Structure 1
Amino acid sequence: MRPELVTAYLTRIGADRPARPDAGSLRDLQVRHAMTVPFENLDVHLGEPVVLDADALVDKVVTRRRGGFCYELNAAFGHLLAALGFPVSLHGAAVYAEDGVAGPPLAHMALRVDLEEPWLVDVGFGRGFALHPLRLDARGDQPDREGVFRLVELDDGDVLVTCDGVPKYRLESRARPLTDFEPTCWWTQTSSRSRFTQSLVCSILTEDGRTTLSGRHLVRTVDGRREQRTLTGDAEILDAYATHFGIALDQVPDQRYGTSVSW
């Protein structure tokens, strides 16, 4: 990544260039990223294809000041971390549904960062995942603002990630190139069975909770208290994207499939 783009990315997330690639700076970068770059699938409903090219993804986050879903956010953030000297690799994961059944492999992307100890880094899961990096080699409880996480090594070397006892995803031990995620990224954008075509969401962590715009429903959680209201017109929706997420749109995304869901 070009030096000027690294600087622009750090400015985008409100971070200083770390003096060294260590656990403390990794933690700070992840928190700042999660609180400035929203998890969103707006391009799916704007008819704009998501292309898994690292430079294009960084441009979307930095220049266009947009967010994205897992492949976009973690690929872009991983590109930044690598430019800052962090040893980072991409890993696929199978996400567990609410019924406890794991989905297909590579349906999610997360990052592994190898410092003196290995870390799981994920800025692209959305609601219900850790705000801070998780120790990949720790097997006890890892308390976080978003819950108590635990990582369990499975017989094949994969790692099961749970939050408050609920399985979140099964992380592959092998590293993957970005191109390995292209088929599932395409399916995510195009299949009527994908939750990303069935729902329209933009969500971001805040200092005291989370703000989410799901379709026309604006939900703000502050210190555990949930407030929801329905937006009444396109102008109000566009203003909400700009005010709460820093996203300037010319048109309201068209939710083509299904109805809004909770994230």
Structure 2
Amino acid sequence: MDTAELDAYLRRLGAEQPARPTADVLRELHLRHLRTVPFENLSIHLGEEIVLEEKRLLAKVVGECRGGFCFELNGLFGALLVALGFDVTLLAARVYGDEESLGIPYDHLALRVRTVDGGDWLADVGFGANSHYPLEFGERGEQTDPGGTFRVAEVGRESGGREFGDLDVFRDGKPQYRMEVRPRALGDFVAGSWWHSTSPASHFTQSLVCSRVAEGGGRITLSGRTLTVTSADGDREVTELATDGEVLAVYRERFGMELGRVPEMGEGSGGR
């Protein structure tokens, strides 16, 4: 990521160039990312190719003011943090589904981030409704966050861990994903991205979603033609959008995205 690309990314987030890669800077960037760059799977339903390469992700997220799903968002956020001097490790995870079953290998991408002031953090801007701030990687007690109460727990082989050191991430007592601690490269996640973009069994091919954290701490979500605005207190306002014009206006006004047409289910795959 060159200087011009770094500056453009920071402008997208409304952030200044930080003096040092500290924990406070990481927290600020994490929250700004969640508020600015939506979690969305629209490429899958617009027939757009999803390519896990830094330049292509920059063109999409920064150049086109789009969002993406975990591989794109955390992959690019990790590259931004590296450019700012953070020590970043990409980690593979498997997401918990119904009845607490685990998804495919390379199901999710999360970040382990070390800061110059001694912090060791789990950063994740690509899991939809999740923590607003990074979680302390080594803390095993409950961690309170505007997004809920989180806990990072060790998993042994006797509990299904692939090796000692696997970690389960819980939100409000419910397991979210199981994470390996072995370092990975962005290219390792290509198969997982392809599966989620093409498989009929993937929830991403079965749904349309665009969501971000609102300024007041709530959430704004557009699922197909249903707009849901949730306050920080949990109050929900649901609006059904009748026309394509209304849908495109919400993408533009609520998410800052200019789409040429409304994405529709079953229009094709953006898999690589």
In 2, the alpha carbon distance for the partners of 1:72 and 1:180 equals: 13
Partner amino acid, structure 1, of 2:127: F
Which has the higher relative contact order, 1 or 2, with Cα contacts under 8 A spaced 6 or more apart? 2
Alignment of 1:1-263 (within 5 A): 1-115=1-115, 116-127=118-129, 129-155=130-156, 156-208=164-216, 209-223=218-232, 224-256=234-266
RMSD: 1.0
In 1, the alpha carbon distance for the partners of 2:105 and 2:119 equals: 25
Partner amino acid, structure 2, of 1:220: V
The CA deviation at 1:207 is 2.0
- For residues 201-239 of structure 1, give each alpha carbon's deviation from its aligned partner in whole angstroms, at most 9, with x where no partner exists: 000101221010001101011232101111001111101
Aligned twin of 2:159? none
Q: Is residue 149–residue 162 contact of structure 1 (8 Å, CA) maintained in 2?
A: yes
Partner amino acid, structure 2, of 1:134: L
**Runs of 4 or more off by more than 2 Å in structure 1?**
none
In 1, the alpha carbon distance for the partners of 2:155 and 2:137 equals: 13
The CA deviation at 1:18 is 1.1
- For residues 74-108 of structure 1, give each alpha carbon's deviation from its aligned partner in whole angstroms, at most 9, with x where no partner exists: 01101100000000011110100142111122100
Q: Is residue 153–residue 160 contact of structure 1 (8 Å, CA) maintained in 2?
A: yes
TM-score, normalised relative to structure 1: 0.95
Q: Unaligned regions of 5+ residues in structure 1, if any?
A: 258-263
- For residues 32-85 of structure 1, give each alpha carbon's deviation from its aligned partner in whole angstroms, at most 9, with x where no partner exists: 011000000000000001011012112211111000000000011011000000
Aligned length: 256
Q: Is residue 96–residue 175 contact of structure 2 (8 Å, CA) maintained in 1?
A: yes
- For residues 96-138 of structure 1, give each alpha carbon's deviation from its aligned partner in whole angstroms, at most 9, with x where no partner exists: 01421111221000011123132100000002x1010001111
Q: Is residue 214–residue 220 contact of structure 2 (8 Å, CA) maintained in 1?
A: yes
Aligned twin of 2:161? none
Aligned twin of 1:260? none
Partner amino acid, structure 1, of 2:208: L
In 1, the alpha carbon distance for the partners of 2:142 and 2:195 equals: 35
Partner amino acid, structure 1, of 2:224: G
In 2, the alpha carbon distance for the partners of 1:98 and 1:186 equals: 22
Q: Unaligned regions of 5+ residues in structure 2, if any?
A: 157-163, 268-272
